[in-house]
Structure formats: C-alpha cells, structure tokens
Amino acid sequence: MPRGLVALLLALALPAQEPPVLATRFARDVVAQAPRPEHPRAWRRPDARWRSLNGPWRLFVGDEPAARTVVVPFAPESRLSGLALGQRLLPRLRYERELEIPGEWAGRRVLLHFEAVDWQARAWLDDRELGSHRGGYDPFTFDLGVAGGPATHRLRVEVHDPGDIRQDGWQPRGKQLGSQGIFYTRTSGIWQSVWLEAVPVVALDEVRVATTHEGEVRVAASVRGTAQGPLRLAVEVRGPGKDGATLEQRQEVPLAGDTRPPALRVEGVRPWAPGSPVLYEVTVHLLEGGKPVDALRGRVGFRSVAWRDGRFHLNGAPLFLRGVLDQGYWPESGLTAPTREALVEDARLALRLGFNLVRKHVKVEEAAWYEACDELGLLVMQDMVASYALDKQEAKDNYLAEMTAMVRKLANHPSVVHWVAFNEDWGRPGAFQEVAVQHLRRLDPTRGVTDASGWTQRDDTDITDVHDYGADLLRHSAKERRRPLILGEMGGVAFALPGHTWTEGWGYSRARSPEGFLRRIQMLCGQVYRAENLAGFVWTQLTDVEQEINGLVHYDRTPKVGAPERDHAEIAARIRGEVPAVAAVTPSEWWLLGPFPQPERVRDAQDDAGNRAILERYLHTPCVPDEGGLSPAAGGRVADRPWRQVPAQGAMLDLRAVLGNAMEHGVVYAVAVLPSDRDQRVALAFGSDDAARVWVNGAKVHEAVAVRGVDPWADEIPGVNLRAGRNLVVVKIAQGLFGCGVAVSYEAGHGR
C-alpha cells in the first residue's frame, strides 16, 4: 500500500498525541500584547499609515457561551495563542474585538487586511457585514469605506474550518490532519497578522511585476476606488548597476489590469542568483490625471528560469538543485512563526546546511519568509496546498481559486522559481491534475511546473519527480532522459538527541548516533552526485516536525550534529558532495530456503507486545537443523525445501517480490554471500521486515524482534568478524503481514 495512503488512514483511525513542552528560542521574544508587530507585506506604501490588530481578542469556541482570550495571530491550537487547544477539532470559531479609527485618517479609505484565516471567514463591523472569504493560506481585504473622523467599532469575525475530510472538509489543508504519521496539529481560524491601513480614496490594490535577467520588466496593477481622471503608472527602478554606479530609471506605462503589460527595458542590471542575490527597489506610482495619488514599493530581482537539456537553467546557465523539504511548523506556534526573525532564520539555516533550494511543502508561507529568500539568494520550489478530497466539483473549483491566490501572492518574488501542482496523488485528482497544471501555466508562464511530485505523473509536466527513501539512489542514473529528473523527496533519516523530541518519533530510516547520522547523509548524497543525468534532489527534511524526527535539526531548531558555533558545517559539506561517499559492500549472492508456515498468526501490523511475542516464538522454533550453519548449494534441498538463488541488487532483498503472500505468518531463511578483501572486524548495517535472527559464518551476532518495515540501517551490528573471501550471513526472518525483506551491508574501509 502506498506510504502516503497508509499514513492518511492511520491519521484517521488512531488517536492523535498531545505534545510535551518544546519551543524554539524565538518563543521568549513574543510579547502577548503586541506579537508580530512588523508590517506583514513585502510591498508597502512609502508613507504607510497602518495599525496592527495583533494581540488579545475575544474568542468563542463552537457554541460555548463564555469568551476566551486568544492571542492573534496564533491559532488556538497552539501554545502561543494562550489556549493550547491542541488536537481538538475547531470547526466553528467567533472572534471579537474593538477597533479604533484614528482621527488623522479622516478623508482616507480604511482597509481591514487579513494575511491568512483558515478557512472560511465572514466579518462584521458593528452590525454591517463586510463580506466573506474562502482560502486558508492567502491574504484578503475588506473595505471599510472612507473615514469621517475618529471612531470606535466592534469587529466580529466568524470562521468555519471543516475538519473531517470524509465529509465536508475538502478544502486545501496541507498537513493539517492531527498529529499522527506524516500529519500534524491543525490550524484553525486566524493564523497570520490582522491589520488596518489608511489609503487614498483612489489607491493601488495590487502590483504584479515580471522580469528577465536581460533587464526586461513588465508591471501591472489593479486599483481600488473610482477615479475622476485617466490613470497611468510611473515605474521607478533603483539599484546597483554593472559599472558599480547606482542605476536609476523612471518610465510611465498604461495601467494594465489583467491584460499583458508592455515590456520596459532597464539597461545595466545585474542578474539575481544564489550567491549574488542583487535586488532592485521598484516604486510604482499611481497617476490620476497626471498627478501622483498613491504608490507601492517593493524589491525585485532580474532573473529568468527554464528547464531544458535535462537541467534547470537560471539566467541561461545550468544549475544543479540541492533542495531541502521545509514544512514551516514551530513547536510553540504551529504554522505561524513566533517572530519574523524565526522565519528569516529558517531561510538562513537552509543555506548554512548547504542547500540552494527549498521545497516549501504543501504550505504557503508568510511574506517575510519569501522576502528573506529573495535577500539571501535561496531558490524556492513552491507546492500548492494539498487537499485530500477532490471528487466534488466545488472542491475542484476552490482548489483552482486558492491556486490563483497563491500565484498572485508570490509572483513578484525572484526566489520562487517553480510550482508543484500536487504532492503524490493526494486528493486523487485524476484528470483534474492536467486541468490544474494548465491553470498554473496560464497564471504564470514564466516558471516551470511539476504536475505531481512523486507519483501519478502525467504528460504535462516540465520535470520527472521521483520520491525515493531507499538506500540505492544510483538506480536513477540514465544515459538519456525524455525530461529532467529530480529526486523530489529522499533521505528522511530519523535521529534525535534526548530532550529535543515532541513525542516518540519516526523516519523512513534511522541512525543511532551523530556519527551514524552523518554517515547516512554522506552515503545518500554521494550517490546523488554520482548518478548520471540527475538535475537535483530534495532532502527530507529541514527540521523535525512533531512526531517526525527526520529533520537535519531538531523541532526546536537545535543542532543534531556538532556545536551551534560550527554552523552545521559537517552536514553542509556532505549535502554539497564535498565529502566523498563511502562505498557500501553488499551481498554478491542471495539464497532463499522456505517459506515455513507457522501455526500462530500475527493479528495485524501493529508493533505491540502481543505481536512481538508471536514473532519471537517463530524465531525460537527451529524449522531446519543447524540453522546458523546453513550452506546453500544449487540443486540442494533442506527439510524438503529447495534452495533458490536470487540475483543480488544492492544491500536489500525484496522477499515479497520473490515469494508473494506465501511469506505471511511464516519463516524464511535468507543467506547472503558477503565478500571481504581481508580478515577484518566490521559493523554490519542490517534491516528486516519483520523480526530476524542473524548468524555470520556460523556465529550468532544479532536478534531483532519487532513489527517493522525494511530500513537498511535499522540495526547496527558491531564487532562482526569477517574473513578474507566469502562470508555466509544467515538470516532467519519471522514475518507477519504485508511486505517482507532483508538488507545487509558494511562500509568499505571502516573495518579493523
């Protein structure tokens, strides 16, 4: 069964776990009366008149008659909200507070901005309904009209956030399915900044900018209010020229709303790129009858992106993508960063760890994070927020609407270079996958598109995207390719130091020590750089998230390897391929004997005491004489079972592919021939599905009793004596349900 589907079913079936107290260092910088006080948008008015509405609000949960105090912008599930409602479903919320309009705003239009509310919001000012909005990850605005003078109003916001994907919860929600498997704590209600702004009666509503690395720029804008005269735009560009002097240019253009705006040429610009993230200040003035009435100012980078000749190209040159998966969660505040500095530091962290790209995974982040990526020269591969129920037309229409909002929010950021329409087959989009890709291409023809990262790719995609958490990544080498290939997810190695975990954690494989963690990174990344015609990779993942402990740093952002002052240099060197990969010595032959059905049946696939006891009895019941001394031979038989030779392909052997369901509730003996160039003592890397007992050259060296999948590095067996030549590794596998396999290897050059 696909891992994503298994995790989804587990999330629906099992009770979610409540977290312990865990926090980043940024939590202590939060002031509850005025959290997140910075301006929340990347494009701002030079003479901005605005007020934050973050801080304490009254919150009514469901039908509860009494109000609670919640600290906005933190979701009520999080601890920084002051409520810490955790895993509770919160489909109905009502927020209230007083809202003051200052006297100096008289004669100006007053706008009420919400950066993100999950999911459907309706707002009232006193008894006047302002409007409604659907979309949990995009900003929206209500127009309060022109202020007549100082005033105090009562603001009420009602939020509907359906939580059950099997009923009406079809909205895009990312990883919000409760803390279980690959899913995390939900985010309900207001979860990004709320603020007031006074603008001219006729004002710029939105500015969209597209550039090329050769200095071309196109500017479009939309306007709020009714103008009395003709409207045009004046575009000012200011920044460093190629000759070291300051470049300044001003041009007037027609106001282009949804039509393609004319191209302007800015001579002498320096292209934006990782390592040289040159940004230019752009001020867009709104002219009414030739007179300036409003302006918005932001920063852009001049750059061009393309996929061709099997590679990603930036500004006409190929660039290998070293990416990391970033899910944007914090232990104290969920989807909302505790402070702006926390967002910026996550972007810096990705660079320090050796990456040049971040895949922002099924979440649209706050504007400040993309600003940081622009400033730092960090590329962004942006996922659309995942939905898990796309069978209804209403759900499909909404998916496209929220996709449109995502593109409009992020289009001006040079760091955003690629869109991902779906992750794997989440939501089971079917033919709708192609509809969504075409929609993305119409919205933004300047960036590439992946139709589905991982699985079920169709033909309309710019790249092939493979998810592979296994140990053999060289299998993705190819002399020629139809289109560029990246490993869109890989790694996923679980490891954590005591005192830095949310709960008992998991990963796709596991290391037992900081040294083992580094060796795993070295081995996997080394293969990526040796693989032919690979365009890049995305490592899972930047930080631990709740029960997932496969981050490169802990959930609280503390390092797993080395002291903080080392600046993650040991990991970064391996991510960049600067430390040569250590070759793994794997079996040259595999032989199988069995299966031997057992009278007792394992109940299910849970790793509990009852199932482990049954598997232990399988192991302790001999099926053949002298189990550890088995020596396979072509044409030979033992206990009326023939030996079967299986081709060796790396460290792992998929027994289900050979034996099918006959392995369930039984025992099989797998004998590996492990070569050695000398007498030496080594540490074997071993994994099995499920329980196993291991002998090497007749001596018992290991026993593992668990219901588990095959992780090639699940167990480290130290002090194993190998002799020069052939070594027989006999593995007795006790199997319960579903998949079955075994893996054994050791690192060349690490023996004594």
Tell me if residue 31 falls in helix, strand or coil.
Answer: coil
Is pLDDT of 105 > 90?
A: yes
Let me know: does 541 contact 493? Beta carbons within 8 Å: no
DSSP codes, 214-266: TSEEEEEEEEES--SS-EEEEEEEEEEBTTSSEEEEEEEEE--SSSPPPEEE-
Name the average pLDDT for the chain.
Answer: 92
Is pLDDT of 11 > 50?
A: no
CA neighbours within 13 Å on the CB side: how many for 88?
A: 13
pLDDT at 710: 79
pLDDT at 750: 58
Is pLDDT of 636 > 90?
A: no
Burial class (CB in 10 A: 0-12, 13-18, 19+), 661: exposed
Is pLDDT of 90 > 80?
A: yes
Nearest to 427 by CA among 460, 466, 456, 465: 456
Let me know: does 396 contact 365? Beta carbons within 8 Å: no
Average pLDDT of span 670-690: 91
pLDDT at 64: 94
- Give the span between the Cα atoms of 536 and 523, in whole angstroms: 16
Look at 5 and 157; give whichever has higher pLDDT: 157
Pure H helices in 25-173:
none
Is pLDDT of 275 > 60?
A: yes
Is pLDDT of 375 > 90?
A: yes
pLDDT at 519: 87
Q: Which pLDDT tens digit goes with each residue over 537-588?
A: 999 999 999 999 999 999 999 999 987 667 799 999 999 999 987 778 888 8
Average pLDDT of span 656-685: 89
Q: Which pLDDT tens digit goes with each residue over 34-74?
A: 999 999 999 999 999 999 999 999 999 999 999 999 999 99
Q: Which pLDDT tens digit goes with each residue over 575-588?
A: 999 998 777 888 88
Average pLDDT of span 491-500: 94
CA dihedral defined by 653, 654, 660, 666, rounded to 10 degrees?
A: 60
pLDDT at 565: 63
- Give the span between the Cα atoms of 84 and 333, in whole angstroms: 9
- Give the span between the Cα atoms of 510 and 494, in whole angstroms: 4
Tokens of 739: 């998949």
pLDDT at 737: 85
Q: Which pLDDT tens digit goes with each residue over 717-740?
A: 989 999 999 999 999 999 988 878
Q: What percent of the chain has pLDDT over 90?
A: 77
Q: What percent of the chain has pLDDT over 70?
A: 96
pLDDT at 516: 86
Provide the residue type at 729 as one letter.
Answer: V
pLDDT band at 4 (very low <50, low <70, confident <90, very high): very low
Inter-axis angle of helices 340-352 and 367-376, nearest 10 = 40
pLDDT band at 1 (very low <50, low <70, confident <90, very high): very low
Look at 710 and 486; give whichever has higher pLDDT: 486
pLDDT at 295: 98
pLDDT at 8: 41
Average pLDDT of span 224-244: 93
